[in-house]
């Protein structure tokens, strides 16, 4: 057990060091030698845990995904937060770019040679996020805020849409086209959930400056 713990600690030390270096220098600008130096280990120790720099990035992505899903579930379970605000916080918790080193991870994932990695992340989001949001929607239905007989299906459609249409790799669009789709998306979400028109405009915050500027 002690050896297993030591191996896990060493693995996390490597990931932490790589995370900092990727954020500072970028994935391509970081060498395995730099990671070795930062952790203070021999090359053989690194290769015991990871076959390559790409394997380190894969493990970082898995760690980010697990951490963010855990954060999202914690927020979703906090009934002291109003349902509308909770939905927004869950979605924001799932944005890897908000995390340290997140921008470098997303740039790496969106490279053509990393299409499989990108697909794995999409599968995690499409399969694991709708149940988290559905629990909040059901609360909203009980409170008379939302009116839909299909809470899970609504969340599935919403996540599938945002995970494909707003993905730069899958749908090419200008910033103007993207900005135009955001209010249209929110309009249709309001229809699906059976709420008053304009009541979900707070969701503009999910899309950053584009949504906020469109709202003003």
More confident residue, 209 or 135: 135
Question: Tokens standing for 22?
Answer: 């990727």
The rounded mean pLDDT for the chain is 85
List, for residues 128-139, the tens digit of each pLDDT value.
Answer: 999 999 999 999
Contact indicator for 158, 137 with CB cutoff of 8 Å: no
In what helix (H) or strand (E) does residue 190 lie, and over which residues does it extend? Answer: helix 175-193
Per DSSP, the three-state class of 106 is: helix
List, for residues 148-160, the tens digit of each pLDDT value.
Answer: 999 999 999 999 9
């Amino acid at each position: 057990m002690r050896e297993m713990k030591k191996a896990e600690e060493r693995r996390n030390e490597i990931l932490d060091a790589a995370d900092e270096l990727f954020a500072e220098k970028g994935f391509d600008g970081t060498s395995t030698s730099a990671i070795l130096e930062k952790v203070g280990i021999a090359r053989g120790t690194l290769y015991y845990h990871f076959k390559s720099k790409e394997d380190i990035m894969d493990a970082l992505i898995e760690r980010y995904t697990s951490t963010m899903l855990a954060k999202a579930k914690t927020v979703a379970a906090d009934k002291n937060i109003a349902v509308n605000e909770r939905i927004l916080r869950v979605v924001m918790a799932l944005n890897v770019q908000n995390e340290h080193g997140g921008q470098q991870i997303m740039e790496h994932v969106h490279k053509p040679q990393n299409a499989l990695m990108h697909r794995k992340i999409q599968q995690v989001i499409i399969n694991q996020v709708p149940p988290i949001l559905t629990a909040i929607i059901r609360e909203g239905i009980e409170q008379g805020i939302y009116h839909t007989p299909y809470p899970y299906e609504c969340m599935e459609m919403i996540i599938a849409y945002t995970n494909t249409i707003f993905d730069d790799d899958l749908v090419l669009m200008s910033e103007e086209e993207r900005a135009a789709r955001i209010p249209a998306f929110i309009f249709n979400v309001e229809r699906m959930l059976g709420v008053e028109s304009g009541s979900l405009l707070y969701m503009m915050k999910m899309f950053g400056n584009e949504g906020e500027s469109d709202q003003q």
